[in-house]
Each structure stands twice: as C-alpha cells, then as structure tokens.
Amino acid sequence: MIHALTPRERSRFADFLNSAYFHPVPELVRFFQVLEEDFFYPGILEPDRVAVWERLYPDVAYDDAAFRTASSQLLKRLEGYLQQEALSRNPHRQDQLLLEELERRRQDKHLRYALNRSRKNLDEQRMRDGQYHYDRYALEMAQHRFNARQDFRSQKLAPVAALSSLDAYYLASRLRLACEILNLKHILQVDEDVTLVDQLEGLLAHEAYAGEPAVALYGAILRMLRGQEPELAYRELRGWMERSALLLAKEEQYEVYIHAINFCIRQANRGAPEYLQELLGLYQEALKRDVLLDQGQLSPSNYKNMVTVGLRVGDYRWVKKFIRQYKEQLPAAFRENAYTYNLAVYYYTVGQYDQVLQLLQEVDYDDVFYNLDSKVLLLKVYYETSEADALFSLFDSFSVFVRRNKVLSSYHKTINLNLIQFLKKLTNLPPGPSEKLDRLLQRIDATREISAIQWLKEKAEEKRLRKSPRRVRGAG
C-alpha cells in the first residue's frame, strides 16, 4: 500500500513513524527507510523480500516469518497514519470527538464553548449535503445531552432539532441509495420494492424538505428514473444542479451529473436527438466545474464518451481541442492509446482517412480492447475508401483474432463477428434497391447484437440510394 502514497505523504508517514507520541519502533523506522531509499520507484508494486531483508540485516539469513511480522506491523502503522490523515481533513468529525471527550470528562465550561464553536463552524460551511445533516444531528444531540445534564426543564430538553436533522440525513441518504439501485436494477436484477419508493415519495411531499438541496436533487432523480413526467423531473433536476452545485461534495456532484448524463443518453437512444446537445452541455459543464476529474485525472471512458458525443453533435472544433487539452489528465497507463485512438476517431469522422491509418499504426495492440476498437475503425476506413483487397484481408484476420482471443467475453466476440459477417455481405451486394438488401436489413434489425450497428445500417441505406462512400473533406 506504500506505493499508493504521494512523495509528500511518504515524508509525513516517516515523521509519523518517528513521532515520540506514537512510540517509535527503530526497526520499523529503518524498514520504511530502506523501502523508501532502495525499493520505491514507479512500476514496482511489491519489492523482493529477500533483497529488502539483506539491506536490513546483511549478516542474517532471510527469515520469512520475521519479515512477515515486520511487514504486518508496518502496515498497522500505515493504517494508523491514514486514519490520522482522514481525521485531519474532517474538522466536523474532530469537533464531534472533542465534544464526546469533554462530555465524558464533565468539562462543562469548555464543553459550552466547544458547542458554540462547532455550531458556528457548521453554520458557516458551504456544504448542505447529507453529511451536513448528519453532522448537525450529532451536534444537536450533544447539545441536548448537555442541556439535560444542566437540568433545563423546558422545551430545550426536547431534541427537536436533532430529530429534524436526523430525518433530513436519513431521507437524503435513502434517496441517494434508492436512485442508485433503480439506475442499476437491470444489471443487478433487484426488485425495486426494496427501495421503499412509495414511502420515500410520501416523505418528499413534506414541506420541511422543500428547500433542502440534498433531498430535492435526489427527489427529482427518483421521479426521472421512475418515468413520472421524466422530462419535467429532468428540468427540475437541472434547476437544482444550477442552484446548488457548490453545496455538495465533489463525489456527490459526480453522482448527480452521471444520473443526468444517463437520462440524456436514454432519451437520445429513444429517438430524441436534441438530448445529444444537452448531453454535450452536461459533459462540458461537469468539466468546467472539475467534477469529472478524480485527483486530477479523467477516466478513459469519460474521455471517449465526450469525444463520441461531441462528434455526433458535429462540434468538431471543440472535440479536437478537447482531445489535445485533456490528454495529460488521462491516467499514464492509458494515456497514449486513449489519445491516439480518439484522435483517429475524430479524423475518421471528418473524413481524413490517411490521418486515421497513420494514427492506428501507433496504437498499442497489447491492449485487447483498443485493439478491438481499432480494427472496427479500420474496417470502416477500408469500406469508406473502397479498398476491397485490404477490407477482405481484414475480414479474415479480424475473425481469427476474435475467435482465438481468450480475454474477450462471448458478448464481445458475438457483436464483432456479426459485424464482420454482415459487412462482408453488404460489400458483396451491388448498389441500388434489391430484395437481397432488404433481407439483409431485416436480418440486421432482428440480430441487434452487432458492433457499430447504426453505422452498418447507414451504409446499407446509402447502398440502397446508390450513394458513393464519403470523400475526404478538410476539417483541420
């Protein structure tokens, strides 16, 4: 786990190991020092145990049991360090622990001051997510226990504020989970009754939660997922996203954006192309607000999705700029392949096929899925440019690759073999209307499990209309 630490974190962990407060163990300090100096470098996940032992104890034979014991002890210290780091980033949790400790010690004078300070900190914080309501609940319960001990015989004894905060936390958290389950139920095959949706919708109608962003956002998502005036619910969601974007933690903002993005994808797939522009706007907005970056990195799947949507909308200039601008934000292990492949897709879309062929030569074909995507793109280029010999040669080599590959799932094998089969049949048909072409289109519609099926149907329609393959056009 040490390899996951940043250089600054490794330095701080060394200080943690040496801290007199945590009872430093010289052997563990030395163990970590050896790892730091000689065995930590990019690409290594687990150093050679014997080599580490020889650096620690050059005159002692390797003892596997002793090495494992030392490793376990160092891991426990590392876990303790991570706990301290997590606590240092959570001032409200620090306040809660302090309130509990002052209460345990009956330090009422200091407790009163700490309660006031904690309340002020909560009031001044920007976030109004589910965690905020939980922190408010914990504070109000601490206040209630303090009041009760002071023998305040009034309504102050009734923890109304704590109950209200607990209800808001529960509802926001329950809605969040319910939306996640409804979104994934076709994969998980979960009965939506487990989400208690009807009860949640009853609570949503209560005026007490009308202005709570963490509740209203997921309430709109819930109605959207259940098909209850989904377009109206989506517009309501977008309104809340605009008003409360900075009131949620980045992780929760990301979830909300993904729900909105998935809705737009579903609408576009159902024949509402105007949602493609909406989808691109969501991606661009999420980028601008730094929601899609995880520790400064953009996932290759989101990178590819944004390129795909931008090209479908026809915003070629933005796509080309985006591909280049966000290359360095891609994880290093995927960077070159993702950049090269998506740039090739861009050039294919604008009809610059020579650029596509040149770029595909630079893709690392050790990655099976980039290999797969690149071969599909190559099929398209050869078809568009009427390179019959190259196309039929690729049909054969692509088929062999798919059938022999042990990494690909049966689904990926099926959709790609179907593409090869149908594209070969389409290539052999003469241009113009024909019964054979009609039957081929019917079979394509009936099969459905075909890679690049929309492109294949477009090419079939072009052949029916005797349209020539696209000519190269300049788009920069």
Q: What are the structural domain ranges in the chain?
A: 2-88, 367-476
pLDDT (0 to 100) of residue 194:
56
| Tens digits of residue pLDDT in 379-404 | 999 999 999 999 999 999 999 999 99
Least confident of 8-22, 46-60, 199-213, 323-337: 199-213
pLDDT digits (tens, 9 = 90+) for 101-144: 999 999 999 999 999 999 999 999 989 899 999 999 999 999 98
Distance, CA of 158 to CA of 79 (rounded, Å): 40
Binned at pLDDT 50, 70 and 90, residue 200 comes out as confident
**CA–CA separation, 396 and 382 (whole Å):** 14
Please state, in angstroms and rounded to a whole number, the distance separating the CA atoms of residues 439 and 326.
Answer: 44
- Look up residue 354 and give its two tokens: 């020579």
Using one digit for the tens of pLDDT, what is the confidence trace for 409-467?
A: 898 999 999 999 999 999 999 999 999 999 999 999 999 899 999 899 999 999 988 87
Output the CA–CA distances (angstroms, integers) from residue 326 to 251, 296, 298, 427, in the order listed: 20, 10, 8, 38
Instruction: Read off the tokens for 112.
Output: 């009163």
Q: Considering the chain, what is the average pLDDT of its residues?
A: 88
